[in-house]
Amino acid sequence: MIRCHCMVQVITVFCICFFFVCTCIAAESIHDATVWINKGKDAFQNKDFVSAIAAYDQALLLDEFYTEGWKLRGDALMELKRYAEAAESYDRAISIDKTNADLLGKKGRAIYELGKYQDALDIFTRAVSLNPYIFQNQDGYGDVLAALNRFTEADYAYTSALKIDPKSNATWNKKGEVLAKMYRNEEALAAFNQSIQIYPESAEVWNNLGSVYFSMGNMEKALKAFEQAISLDESYIPQKYGDTLSRLAKAGQDDQIISSSTSSSDPVSPLIFTLPPAIFLLNYVMIGIGILAILMIGILGFMKRRTLKKRGL
């Protein structure tokens, strides 16, 4: 009996020790994983994305359920434009935290960059429904809708994003682009001007502004906007810059022709032709002669007929 009691005590002590050792190992693994995560973050900040991924991989070998590790790994892969791998990494994080709207938005962006717009739309729709107050999700939602030519919905999504972050010059620019595609030119101009107020050094936005002025027929403002774009980036030649110069040159030539023809031509007064009195007299004489000739012909004809009649008698 005593022997059995001792055996139970030994087994109990062994289990406690085993549990303690396992707990210590697990705690050490978590600690080591955190160390690798921090190394990865440092490498990421230094834009050494390959080293960052290697560090995150080490962390995930120690703890495969480290949600942040999978997310950070996906972020580094996105920087390297390895979008398919990034999507897989975000997917692993989502499998651990299924209702995380931020993770869904990141996966949606990776799928969007792969050109799978319908799949990306499904992901962003779920992300926005889970949390409509994340800027990146609303902005990405707008990008996907714009890529699918659903411009009205894209405009609404960008507006929602700008309510969260009204200082995003890139989103103001994208909002202006979809408005311009819907020929809502005045609203597009307002959006581009908002973007320029926030960040006036974007050649792309100045070009977009010039394109709207061009489509509205305002060539002078279009030219100013295009020239501003070129001044910010000399290698950036706006598509409609040459057409704008041509139209302005033609308009200038037309104005010169109109101006010269107006200044050189004298006013033309209507010609008034007045017959002199002698002409009037001559007309009357000719009319009189004509009447007399008719009378003489008539009299001669009458006399001739009368003579013939007498001879016949």
Token pair in block for residue 169: 């010059």
pLDDT for the residue 11: 55
User: Each residue of 81-102: pLDDT tens digit?
Assistant: 999 999 999 999 999 999 999 9
Pick from 34-43, 73-82, 213-222, 304-313: least confident:
304-313
Structural domain includes residue 203: yes
Range of the domain at 200: 189-248
Q: Is residue 53 part of a domain?
A: yes
Q: State the alpha helices, DSSP H only, in the chain.
A: 2-45, 49-62, 67-79, 83-96, 101-113, 117-130, 135-147, 151-164, 169-181, 185-198, 203-215, 219-232, 241-264, 277-312
* pLDDT at position 160: 98
Give domain status of residue 237, yes or no.
yes
The pLDDT of residue 69 is 97
The pLDDT of 195-223, averaged and rounded, is 96
Q: How many Å separate Cα 228 from the centre of its chain?
A: 18
Residue located via tokens 């995150």? 56
* Residue 46 lies inside a defined structural domain of this protein: yes
User: Is 276 part of a structural domain of the chain?
Assistant: no
- Cβ pair 150, 137 in contact under 8 A: no
Whether the CB-CB separation of 228 and 205 falls below 8 Å is answered with no
Predicted local confidence at residue 235, as pLDDT: 80
Boundary of a domain, candidates 70, 98, 126: 98
Mean pLDDT of the chain: 83
Token pair belonging to 85 = 């791998």
- Mean pLDDT, residues 20-48: 75
Do 223 and 244 contact (CB within 8 A), yes or no?
yes
Query: Average pLDDT, stretch 48-60?
Result: 97
Q: Is the pLDDT of residue 45 over 90?
A: yes
Contacting residues for 23 by C-beta, under 8 A, at least 6 apart: none
| Mean pLDDT value of segment 219-245 | 86
Q: Among the three residues 98, 126, 153, which one is the final residue of a domain in this structure? A: 98
Which among 121, 108, 77, 73 is positioned nearest to 93, based on CA atoms? 73
CB hemisphere CA count around 282 (13 angstroms): 5
Residue 67 lies in a domain: yes
**Domains identified in the chain, total number:** 2
Residue 236: HSE in the Cβ half-sphere, 13 Å Cα cutoff: 17
- pLDDT above 70 covers what percent of the chain? 73
pLDDT score at 18: 45
Whether 180 contacts 212, CB under 8 Å: yes
CATH number at residue 197: 1.25.40.10
Confidence band, pLDDT 50/70/90 cuts, at residue 234: confident
- Split at pLDDT 50, 70, 90, the class of 24 is very low
Between 285 and 299, name the one with better pLDDT. 299
CA of 115: how far to CAs of 78, 84, 119, 255, in Å?
14, 11, 9, 50
User: For 245-295, what is each residue's pLDDT tens digit?
Assistant: 877 776 655 445 445 544 545 554 444 444 445 444 555 556 667 677 677
| Domain final residue pick, 98, 125, 142 | 98
